[in-house]
Structure 1
Amino acid sequence: MGDLAINGRTWNEAEQDLVVGDYFVMLDKAMTGRPYDPDNHQRALRFVTNRSGGAITFLQGEISAILSLIGLPTLKDHPPRRDFGDSLVDAVDRHLSMRPAVLKDLAQPPALLGRTAAPVLAEGAPPRPAPTPPGDRAQRLIARFDPAERDLEARMLTRIGVAAALAYEQTRLAERGRPDLAAEIRLALPPVDEGCDLLSFSRTGAPRRIAVKTTTGGPATPFRLTPAEEALSRDQPGAFVVYRIYDVAREARVFRVRGAGEAAEG
């Protein structure tokens, strides 16, 4: 871990709990638009833990990596560091298990309900594959909090994501000189249009069947297709596209993938 590399001292459970708790305090403020001073937070942590600023920063980056695995937002100024240990995974687990409202508010921020318009999506890039898979303890944490299932059941995220994707598709086609096709985009109407959320077109006029997957987490957050989406991806592989919307409560970015995971063309 970062602290061990710096001064030979490992973190004990109480110290990790302090840093994890402080991380979530800052994250809550960041997600709700309230100001906070990271330097003040670090000074306080240095005082109560007697750790260096570098050691604390390392640990905060490792917390970001763990939260990204379970599909939660992270602090932008602490990019993920994937060399975390099992004891830190346990500290994150303890915090979220004892405070279920924290998990709910990060996965479905109340501020999203107050939006009067859908987020404007910016182009994002698919995540790079992790150099090494998560360890067994991290895998159990992912299974415990199951971000794919959580987002799949979050109807608020679904509504917001579909509205944002609809506006994005209309703009995309209009900017490509096809306002006629942009005007023809519509919401899918089950059971007639099973397996997708939007009926759209490529710029050449070919049909495009879009399944929208939305998360407040980062681009690497796993998502899951429904049985109807799986069937449509098999029956119409050339038309089926997933729009992966991530960080929807803040920057709201999107990338496109085919049902089999291949990057999709615009």
Structure 2
Amino acid sequence: MAEDWSQAEVAAIVADYFAMLGHELRGEPFSKREHNRRLQELLNGRSAGAIEFKHQNISAVLIEEGFPYIDGYKPRANYQDRLRTEVILRLSMDAPVVAAAETAVMAVASVTTPWRDLEDILVPPPVREPRAGRTYERAVPVPAPRLGINYLEREARNASLGEAGERFVLEIEHRRLWEAGAKHLAERIEHVAKTKGDGLGYDIASFDPDGSERLIEVKTTTFGAMTPFFATAREVAVSNDQPHQYRLYRLFKFRTEPKVFVLPGSLRQSCVLDPVQFRATLA
């Protein structure tokens, strides 16, 4: 059985992760393999697999703190309290990485013009590591990030990114229906977020090739596939009331290599919904 990671080891691997994260947020090239090799030399006896697993633990902590993670290090939540403490400490002191995250989430987005084949863009939904004791909605709200800012939520409010993602999905839908021989339906697709407002619970009214409705909500991020998204009460309600028509299109890695996975049906079934905001009225 492997020994627990010491404080010195945890500090070293968190510092290494943040160095890579800074490069990724600034769009600078770096080698995960080379970083792993150097850590093997620094952390006596730790294997490449153990180091990668710990990097994945760090990703999980960052997501819970509302902060971007390194794409390719899929979050794993069974981590030491010591690791969480070290990551939060690093967030509070690594001003360059925090500034890079701020720049990344607020950057103006333009419509990325596809195009590769649809099968290169449409991918299966990622599988999240199961966590014991969690239902689709938790009774206790998630604690606020220690920095006081949820950078993932801030990105979700980036209007230019949201609109660019919706226009990208409009192109996907037009191509999908054209390739299915339903040109007449492709010409009836409506960007309802623009024509009717953004309070319907979905952004795009599209169709399946047989003519049945497809109600599409688009969520766009520049980060990895496991980045949480934010759904309104209306979006959840519509997905629950019209599960056969509802589709959530999750567009990720938007600025570099856009890909999309689709969550059909009720969001209560496909997602873990954490209440992060409450409407309060006087008792």
Aligned to 1:41: 35
Q: What stretches of structure 2 of length at least 5 have no aligned partner?
A: 135-141, 271-283
Shift of 1:203: 1.2
Aligned to 1:26: 20
Query: Aligned in 2, Cα 1:249/1:27: closer, same or farther, shift over 3 Å?
Result: farther
Shift of 1:158: 1.1
How does 1:62-211 map onto structure 2 within 5 Å? 62-67=57-62, 70=66, 72-76=68-72, 78-99=73-94, 102-103=97-98, 105-106=100-101, 109=104, 113=108, 115=110, 117-118=112-113, 122-133=121-132, 140=143, 149-188=153-192, 189-191=195-197, 194-211=200-217
Shift of 1:229: 2.6
**Structure showing the higher helix proportion among its residues:** 1
Corresponding letter in the other structure for 1:94: L
Please give the alpha-carbon distance, in whole angstroms, between the structure 2 residues aligned to 1:98 and 1:134: 33
Corresponding letter in the other structure for 2:131: T
Equivalent of residue 243 in structure 1, options 223, 237, 249: 249
Please give the alpha-carbon distance, in whole angstroms, between the structure 2 residues aligned to 1:247 and 1:134: 31
Answer with 197-206 or 219-228: which moved more. 219-228
RMSD over equivalenced CA pairs, Å: 3.8
Shift of 1:125: 1.7
Secondary structure of the 1:209 match is strand
Shift of 1:243: 1.2
Secondary structure of the 2:231 match is coil
Query: Aligned in 2, Cα 1:71/1:253: closer, same or farther, shift over 3 Å?
Result: farther
* Length, aligned pairs only: 253
Q: What stretches of structure 1 of length at least 5 have no aligned partner?
A: none
CA contact (8 A) 2:213 2:245 kept: yes
Shift of 1:210: 1.3
Equivalent of residue 61 in structure 1, options 52, 56, 59: 56
Answer with 201-210 or 60-69: which moved more. 60-69
Please give the alpha-carbon distance, in whole angstroms, between the structure 1 residues aligned to 2:103 and 2:167: 16
Q: Taking structure 2 as the reference length, what is the TM-score of the superposition?
A: 0.70
